[in-house]
Structure 1
Amino acid sequence: MTITMSAFRIQAIDDKQGTRSPVESVLNTNYVPSEEECRNIEGYLETLRIGLSRLEDQARIVHEATEEDIGPNLELEELKLFIAAHSALLSPARRLPDDLLREIFLNCLPPNHNATFSPADSPVLLTHVSHRWRDAAFSTPRLWSTLHIPLLSRLLDYSSNANRMSTIKEWMARSGSVPLSLSFGTLPVAFLPTIPDIDLLLSVLSPALTRLENMSITLSGRRYPIAELLQSLEKKGRNPFRRVRKLDLYIDLTAMPNGRLYTHLECDDILAALHLEDNMHLKELTLFTSFSLTTLPDTMKGPHPWSNLESLRIQPHRRGHNENGLVSFIICDVLLDVLALCPNLKLLEARCYQFQELPSPGREAVILPKLKHSPI
């Protein structure tokens, strides 16, 4: 008996088209079949799988009879795709109610960092699956309530800035009126100033800043641009440091052109310009400065922002050196002054130093009854 490949191809086509698909018009779409249609699809799939098994047996016979590598059979592969398209219609995910689908989406968000623009991560990834998923994602404000924004430098590639700003505006619009968590990424080259880009970003984000609850930001550059930015934010009434509940703040002051380092009074001016003393909501604070905290500005010696803090990381160990190679720390006496104002503190991390023996003369002990963790 001679079996030809032309006969095999005709048989493959006949097997697929012998019984017409009950849902051919909605294959490869987001259509959600009814219960009756699902039963019809399951019956049709059984017929297709029987035909597929027969065709695979015939292909094996042809191969054994000719002892030649006949290569991939297009009709056989087409039938497999035809079966896969029908199986996709039976996917349970298609019949999930929208509210349950949205809850699943929320659990797909990155657990350890804010969402990014990356198409490989949620929530952007979810919008590429189907039209229904895209609509569900876009109508879920909490899904867009976090965002990590990479910083750019005018000294580097700034060509994508217009698209980035447009994407940020759309992201904020999708977040509706829910509280926000924003972080601003470091520059791809160390020691470049972040102030120009942060100034532009905060201007674009201005309408949404009243919803900002969590923020991580690095103010890097010379003292005067940083001070001007903070003064501008205050003047325009959009200072985010006044209202956030969680703040990770890194202040990296680069040296003056003549190599001179800033005095502690000049550094105090930067801290004072934040107006953290007006923040009545702050619960978690990470504060790292490239200069040592040998004192605090007068504005930060009152009850705020310390009285409501539950977590304080000040000059944390992981960023102990600045660009000048100097170790930054907080004087122990200053830290004790701060801790005396933190009755609700549960977590403490600090790099501290003391030039004289502790306890200092006349200093009273600081008691933190709620403290649970302190890796000092």
Structure 2
Amino acid sequence: MDSSWDLPTDALVEILVRLPPNARRHLRLVCQHWRELIDRRTVTDMRRRTKIIAVAEGGFTSVIDLLTPGSSLLWPTDTETALKYSTMSIVGSCNGLVCLCDDTAPGGAITVANPSTGEALRLPPLPMPGAAAHLYNNDNSNRKWHQTYSFAYHHGTGSYKVVHVPCHFDRFWQPKIVHVFTLGDASWRDVYTGTDARCSLGSLSLVEVDGTVYWLTEDAGKIMAFDLKHECVTRTEPVAVPSMSSTCRLMKVHGRLAVAVYNDDSAMVWVLEGESWSRHYILETHVQRQQEMWMMMMQQEKWSMRRDLAGPHLVHGGYLLTLTCESSCRPLVLYRHAISEERSSQDNVVLIRHKDRGEVVSHLMASIYQTFPYIETKESLRVYNAVLTHN
């Protein structure tokens, strides 16, 4: 580039921070200098504006700002859009775009939508044999296809991708194949894994972290990793603790992969740092014995239920998110817990005891089972496919 076009660094940063997030993402591709400036000098503005999508049972989806109390609906209740998308399950969100899955369609029909603009892009269906489509169309079972998908954005290439990993009821797809769709392409691609990589179903089945999609295998003994840039599958060493046979959920902590390991009265969060796991958080979940619960309900006294970690977006800024149902007749409460250094123990593990209730963020009328970061954007989906994009 001609030197006459050079700008002082501070002046360039002032220009960049005034641009919308989607424009900055494209400008990262200009050169390494711009990419470093955007990553280092404008990320604070992005984080400040980022909110949380809380996905609850019954199709209730709320947008929550941790810095202000209360919540709002992701889809306006008085529009046709709300009726259309409230019955779909959310796969994930990236840069203000939300990936939705219609579980009633064989294989799960995927739509990428922008709640801020009302635009939506329907993806082609996963290719499957005619016999499979006929079987699933006549199958009344409630298959949770959305748990087999992940929606991700790769900063290096500037591309959005939807990844599908077969599970135990996907018997018509090969267990050694992962399906990938890049926004802007015309069809899905098959990626050979070299091993049986079927995922373990659950509300936190697949998690995208820094350009890689992770998932637990069916026996929960392995963590598989799909590199979005090179489109290859590798294996990540699981948490080397005896509790790995307990209930495990994949999480995301400050841009790193995390695993929450649950036992009877606590949940431990391990974070992958390089090639090793470090324990970062312990949450006392406090489960009342069934007999004690029954006695308290009969006496109409206040009783406590198990606390849980919000995920996969577990840590937002300087706060760890937890969920608690205060009583048998009250709504679920989302809490935030400051995780400053002074609260850490000597081994740098943050312990959140049962008495540490945290600060109330929002009261919700249904049980939350997923949280995702969210930022409003005007990014148009028509650049990926003007024909299939609609309002």
Judge same fold: TM > 0.5, yes or no: no
| Greater length-normalized contact order (CA 8 Å, ≥ 6 residues apart) | 2
Structure with greater proportional strand content? 2
Normalised to the residue count of structure 2, the TM-score between the two structures is 0.24
Normalised to the residue count of structure 1, the TM-score between the two structures is 0.25
Larger radius of gyration: 1
